[in-house]
């Protein structure tokens, strides 16, 4: 067994979230017979790549990324286009990667960052930090410790008896704490989290967890910072479990609607009725629905309508924009 012992504690909230996620996974397995259809797989994969790169400030839109991956010519920054093709190639490798292999980790990083940085496929040789914009959130350990720290982390994961949902979230935090590469740590950490979960339940290979991380990007960075200050990753683990729960709930809604031959549930129909033909901010839609609890509104009304492509954002490339509005799709 590994002597490595990541600092965190189990909370009641974690256990409740794990229970809810497991229940939703069961529903997905029933609705999808254990796997997602190829169209949804491709759509989720593109959403995953777009969101993961958007977190790293790639400015290409979802439409542009879809066109690139369809082999179409797109005008844009060559490095940003390269980021897209690299990420798609890396994610396509997932089913053949061993998440506990350092060799495979370096291979995936080489694919993700080739042509973008010189130190691709190798651990960093210098100091790096985690930034949210201009703000330094975390200064990573010295480079000389990285190989042993990653080896210890992988050994810990392979021997730990923790439930995989919690264990993979702890891994995610520890990976970002170590920050093993000169660049690409964020996208690699998120990808490896999905890879670890995919080894547990195959459905996770295809879930766009990064999409909801992007929508809660400020909370994501805040949780990383708080975990550093507390020397305890519990707050980060709880946030990741919340995001995973929201992601699997989205898939359940889509699956149920597909099984109901595209029938629109009552909450979504109410939302469409109050929107009319206007472009409305979120707060105005909630007011018209006489709702005050934003998480309930997002879960039962907004996300299902977006997933069914019945409504769309007026600023899709900046989902958290203060000027964001929603309108019916035509």
**pLDDT tens by residue, the chain, 330 residues:** 457 889 999 999 999 999 999 988 888 776 655 555 566 677 888 889 999 999 988 999 988 999 998 889 888 899 999 999 999 999 999 989 999 999 999 999 999 999 999 999 999 999 887 776 677 777 889 999 999 999 999 999 999 999 999 999 999 999 999 999 999 999 999 999 999 999 999 888 888 888 888 888 889 989 998 999 999 999 999 999 999 998 888 776 554 444 443 446 788 888 988 988 899 999 999 999 988 888 888 888 888 888 777 898 998 877 778 899 999 887
Is 7 inside any structural domain? no
Of the residues 228, 259, 290, the one at which a domain ends? 259
- CATH number for 91: 1.10.3290.10
Note if 179 is an active site residue: yes
The answer on whether 65 is annotated among ligand-binding residues is no
The answer on whether 220 is annotated among ligand-binding residues is yes
164 and 232 belong to one structural domain: yes
The answer on whether 121 is annotated among ligand-binding residues is no
241 and 281 belong to one structural domain: no
The answer on whether 204 is annotated among ligand-binding residues is no
User: What is the value of pTM for the model shown?
Assistant: 0.75
Is 3 inside any structural domain? no
What pLDDT is stored for residue 86 in this prediction? 96
239 and 298 belong to one structural domain: no
Residue with tokens 């990064």: 210
134 and 212 belong to one structural domain: yes
210 and 312 belong to one structural domain: no
95 and 220 belong to one structural domain: yes
Is 72 inside any structural domain? yes
Is 204 inside any structural domain? yes
Contact 206, 44 (CB under 8 A): yes
Catalytic residue among 50, 109, 172, 179: 179
Is 1 inside any structural domain? no
Give me 11's structure tokens. Answer: 């909370």
How many domains are there within the chain? 2
Of the residues 225, 259, 293, the one at which a domain ends? 259
Residue 75 CA to its chain's centroid (Å): 26
Is 81 inside any structural domain? yes
**What is the domain extent for residue 122?**
12-259
Contact 116, 86 (CB under 8 A): yes
193 and 280 belong to one structural domain: no
Contact 6, 170 (CB under 8 A): yes
189 and 50 belong to one structural domain: yes
Is 6 inside any structural domain? no
Of the residues 233, 259, 285, the one at which a domain ends? 259
Sign of CA dihedral 295, 300, 306, 307: positive
CA neighbor of 170 nearest in space, from 197, 148, 203, 137 = 197
Is 40 inside any structural domain? yes
80 and 212 belong to one structural domain: yes
Distance CA 113, CA 28 (A): 33
Longest dimension (CA), the chain: 61
Distance CA 285, CA 271 (A): 7
Contact 42, 208 (CB under 8 A): no
186 and 287 belong to one structural domain: no
The answer on whether 188 is annotated among ligand-binding residues is yes
191 and 104 belong to one structural domain: yes
117 and 147 belong to one structural domain: yes
The answer on whether 293 is annotated among ligand-binding residues is no
H or E element that contains 136? strand 135-139
The answer on whether 329 is annotated among ligand-binding residues is no
């Amino acid at each position: 067994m590994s002597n490595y012992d990541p600092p965190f504690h189990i909370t009641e909230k974690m256990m409740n979230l794990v229970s809810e996620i497991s229940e939703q996974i069961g529903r997905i397995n029933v609705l999808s017979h254990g796997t997602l259809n190829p169209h949804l797989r491709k759509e989720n994969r593109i959403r995953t790549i777009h969101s993961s790169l958007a977190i790293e400030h790639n400015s290409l839109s979802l439409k542009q990324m879809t066109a690139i991956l369809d082999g179409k010519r797109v005008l844009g920054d060559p490095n940003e286009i390269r980021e897209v093709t690299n990420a798609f190639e890396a994610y396509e490798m997932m089913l053949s990667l061993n998440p506990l292999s350092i060799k495979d980790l370096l291979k995936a990083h080489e694919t993700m960052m080739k042509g973008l940085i010189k130190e691709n496929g190798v651990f960093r040789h210098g100091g790096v930090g985690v930034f949210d914009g201009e703000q330094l959130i975390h200064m990573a350990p010295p480079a000389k410790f990285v190989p042993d720290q990653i080896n210890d982390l992988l050994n810990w994961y392979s021997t730990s008896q923790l439930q995989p949902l919690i264990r993979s979230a702890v891994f995610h935090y520890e990976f970002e704490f170590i920050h093993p590469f000169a660049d690409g740590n964020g996208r690699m950490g998120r990808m490896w989290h999905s890879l670890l979960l995919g080894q547990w339940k195959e459905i996770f290979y295809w879930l766009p967890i990064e999409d909801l991380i992007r929508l809660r990007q400020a909370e994501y960075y805040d949780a990383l910072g708080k975990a550093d200050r507390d020397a305890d990753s519990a707050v980060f683990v709880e946030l990741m479990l919340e995001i995973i729960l929201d992601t699997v709930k989205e898939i359940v809604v889509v699956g149920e609607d597909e099984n109901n031959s595209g029938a629109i549930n009552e909450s979504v129909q109410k939302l469409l009725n109050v929107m009319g033909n206007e472009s409305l901010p979120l707060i105005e839609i909630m007011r018209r629905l006489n709702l005050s609890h934003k998480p309930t509104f997002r879960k039962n009304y907004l996300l299902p309508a977006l997933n069914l492509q019945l409504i769309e954002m007026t600023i899709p490339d900046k989902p958290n924009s203060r000027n964001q509005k929603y309108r019916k799709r035509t």
